[in-house]
Amino acid sequence: MKLKPIGEWVVIEPLKEEVTPGGIILPDKVKEKVKKGKVLEVGPGVPHNVRDPELYKIPVKEGDIVIFQPYSPTKLQIDGEEVCLVMLTSILAVVEE
C-alpha cells in the first residue's frame, strides 16, 4: 500500500537505531527529544489560506533525512512497517551530509 498525503502532510519513515561513533546503540529513552526520519512522500503543501499557491515552496522532498518533533506524528503500520504522518510545520530541519 502507498500513502499519498494531502495538504501540508508528509509521510516519514522513522530511523530506528542510533549508533554512536564508538558503536554503542542508544535506546529510545536516552536519545534526545527529537526524531529523525526519511521522507517517503510529500503532499502538495498548499495551505488553505495562501492566496497565491505558486509562491508557496515545499522545503522538503522525497528521500530527505529530516528532524521532526517527537510528539507531533500520527503513527501508522503500513505493510508491517511503521510510518509517521507529520505536518510540514512539525519538521524542524533537513539533515545535510
Residue for grid cell 505493510: 79
Give the count of domains, the chain: 1
Instruction: Confirm whether 3 is domain-assigned.
Output: no
> Could you tell me the CATH number of the domain that includes residue 81?
2.30.33.40
Angle value at C-alpha 70, between 65 and 76, nearest 5 degrees? 80
DSSP character string of 29-94:
TTS-S-EEEEEEEE-----TT-S-GGG---S--TT-EEEE-TTSPEEEEETTEEEEEEEGGGEEEE
Instruction: Confirm whether 75 is domain-assigned.
Output: yes
**Domain extent for 75:** 9-95
Residue 87 CA to chain centroid, in angstroms?
Answer: 8
The pLDDT tens digits of the residues spanning 6-34 come to 888 899 998 875 655 666 666 655 555 56
Residue for grid cell 518533533: 69
Instruction: Confirm whether 4 is domain-assigned.
Output: no
The pLDDT tens digits of the residues spanning 56-85 come to 778 899 999 999 988 878 888 888 888 999
